[in-house]
Amino acid sequence: MTHKKVAIIGAGIAGLASAYYLQKNSPETQILIFESESKTGGKLLTSAFAGVSVDEGADSFLARVPWAVELCRDLGLESELVSPSARTASLWIDGKLQQIPSPNVLGVPLETESISEGLLTPDALSRLDSNGVPSLDLPDSDASIGQVIQSCVGLEVLERLVDPLIGGINAGRSDEMSCAVMAPQLLEAAHHPDGMLSRLKDLAKNADPTAPVFHTHPEGMNRLVDALTKSLENSFKMVSPVLNISRLSNKWLVETEKGPESVDGVVIATPASVSSNILEKTLPGPAQVFDSIEFASVVLVTFGYSRTDFEADSSQSGFLVPRSSQLFMTACSYSGSKWAHLRHPELEILRVSTGRIDDDRHLNMTDDEIVNELRLDLNSTLGIESAPVDVRVTRWPNSLPQFPVGHADQMNALDVELGHSAPGMFFAGAIRHGVGIPACIRSGKEAAQQLSEFLYG
Ligand SMILES: Cc1cc2nc3c(=O)[nH]c(=O)nc-3n(C[C@H](O)[C@H](O)[C@H](O)COP(=O)(O)OP(=O)(O)OC[C@H]3O[C@@H](n4cnc5c(N)ncnc54)[C@H](O)[C@@H]3O)c2cc1C
């Protein structure tokens, strides 16, 4: 068998996972990883804050889907993973913090008794006592989360519970978001003949309520990135942005400022706007699809408050802010309550975010202005008046892809088009199956599998 050479473009979690599975399943393959930054990991970034390792972006991943847990197991990290010490969170609603009903599935409450008084009107509550059969015929393949929830359990549950939770995942609007991509379990339940609520309650009966929902590593998400990067020591890494990809006979030419590299196959795992640019000349059709994907920009500000000035509720991991509240902040996480390893001896560490697909005020603000605006919100919500001891601002421009209804079909069509017009080229990343780390790993793993099959049959 001849040894093939491939390029993985972009060393975020999706690209690294792709390289990892390619190396694992086809060790004879020569892998070249192209990354524009000197550091791998892309949007996974941990750094020191007040002497502890605090993530500047993603701080955990879903434990109830397999891909991230499996990868950690493979890398020997599974036994080091931890889960949140505080498992409940609140919503800032009607000018006060109110407990998110539990159990819930992406904000849909499963027990009306768990809903705090006044959170929902009697009409909305009685709707939740029904089976949740949709009031409208829902399309089979996809519908917006808004359409699904409103039709099964009503507008109030959508606006006050589901939108803040789901919007917190990719800063999007649930009335425009694909249910098939963002909440497939809700779509499946809505189509169940017994009704959405009956189906979700049935599924919940078989679930272990004590099983962790999220995992992280005590050293932060960098630990996963470092372990992956180390496992790829034998791959060749090129720190240079890819500028263009072109076709030369039956090879791909990956062009950087350092010159072209000829390869037999490619996995594109760059942000969609970059993928569009590097394919524009050679594959205008796919480039246009990448270009059409909309992204939300967010900012994550880490605050350190002296515990003599503010003490977070240790039973809560934080709170979410619905768009109807008109606050600048979208969420606040109490790091020391959520994660035992982030309980600082003197400080309360809060991670506070701002920015939504329909609120990009922060783009025109300086870091100081953002901090001041968030401090006003921390004062309104938590009563914090004093100045923080430490502050860190991390901007994530165009970081969270939006998934309109039909997005999954569009991605499948892109797969098919690449199969016809770009043999040996595959794509991975947050646009494929969703923004979550497990979904990104899944996309990388699948692209590696497709590339292996292409190369070796
Ligand atoms: C603030 C924030 C909080 C989040 N929180 C969570 C969370 O708690 N849990 C969770 O599961 N998910 C979370 N996410 C989502 C998750 O972090 C991302 O969806 C995921 O990390 C994206 O990975 P990726 O590999 O697709 O893309 P990226 O991480 O963007 O990787 C793309 C890589 O391509 C490189 N690149 C760019 N241009 C070029 C070029 N021309 N040539 C070569 N390389 C290039 C980039 O430098 C980067 O390394 C969060 C995201 C944000 C922004």
Q: How high is the pLDDT of residue 234?
A: 87
438 touches 224 (CB < 8 A) = no
Q: Give the residues across from 266 on adjacent strands.
A: 7, 425
Residues 356 and 296: beta-carbon distance below 8 Å? yes
Interval between CA 383 and ligand 1 midpoint (Å): 34
Cα 344 to chain centroid distance, Å, stands at 26
Protein residue closest via CA to atom 43 of ligand 1: 35
- Mean pLDDT in residue range 122-141: 93
Task: Determine the average pLDDT of the residues in 223-229.
Answer: 97
What is the CB < 6 Å shell around ligand 1? 9-15, 34-37, 42-44, 57-61, 241-242, 269-271, 274, 298, 300, 396, 399-400, 429-430, 435-437, 440
Has residue 2 got a pLDDT over 90? no
CA angle 388, 165, 343 (to 5 degrees): 35
The pLDDT value given to residue 210: 83
Q: How far is the CA of 297 from the centre of ligand 1 (A)?
A: 12
Backbone phi, then psi, for 402, in 5-degree steps?
A: -105, 145
Position 252 scores a pLDDT of 98
Nearest C-alpha neighbor of 167 from the set 298, 301, 1, 339:
298
Q: Domains in the chain, please, with CATH?
A: 5-42+223-293+403-456 (3.50.50.60), 78-85+295-401 (3.90.660.20), 104-205 (1.10.3110.10)
Substitution candidate for ligand 1 out of 33, 228, 270 with most atoms within 8 A of CB: 270
User: How would you write 349-384 as a 3-class SS string?
Assistant: EEEEEECECCECHHHHCCHHHHHHHHHHHHHHHHCC
Q: Quick one: what percent of the chain has pLDDT higher than 70?
A: 100
CA 190 to ligand 1 centroid distance, Å: 31
Residue 13 Cα to ligand 1 midpoint, Å, equals 7
Q: What is the mean pLDDT of the chain?
A: 96
Q: Which of 101, 190, 210, 112 is nearest to 144 (CA)?
A: 190
8 A C-beta contact, residue 171 and residue 331: no
Q: Which atom of ligand 1 sits closest to the CA of residue 56?
A: 1
Q: With 70 as the cut, is the pLDDT of residue 60 above it?
A: yes
Q: Which tens digits make up the pLDDT trace of 181-216?
A: 999 999 999 999 999 999 999 999 888 878 889 999
pLDDT score at 18: 98
The pLDDT score that the predictor gives to residue 1 is: 58
**For residue 357, what pLDDT is reported?**
97
Check pLDDT > 90 for residue 131: yes
Percent of the chain whose predicted confidence (pLDDT) is above 90: 92
Cβ distance 320 to 91 under 8 Å? Answer: yes
CB 447 within 8 A of CB 269: yes
- Sign of the Cα pseudo-torsion (63, 66, 72, 77, in order): positive
404-421 pLDDT per residue, tens: 999 999 999 999 999 999
Residue 15 CA: which ligand 1 atom is closest?
A: 25
Task: Give residue 44 CA to ligand 1 midpoint distance, Å.
Answer: 6
- Mean per-residue pLDDT, 331-351: 96
Atom of ligand 1 nearest to the CA of 40: 49
Residue of 13, 36, 43, 56 to test ligand 1 pocket, by largest number of atoms within 8 Å of CB: 43
How confident is residue 244, by pLDDT bands cut at 50, 70 and 90? Answer: very high
The ipTM of this complex is: 0.99
Q: Average pLDDT in the 248-273 region?
A: 96
Q: Quick one: which atom of ligand 1 is closest to the CA of 396? A: 53
C-alpha 11/C-alpha 238 separation (Å) is 10
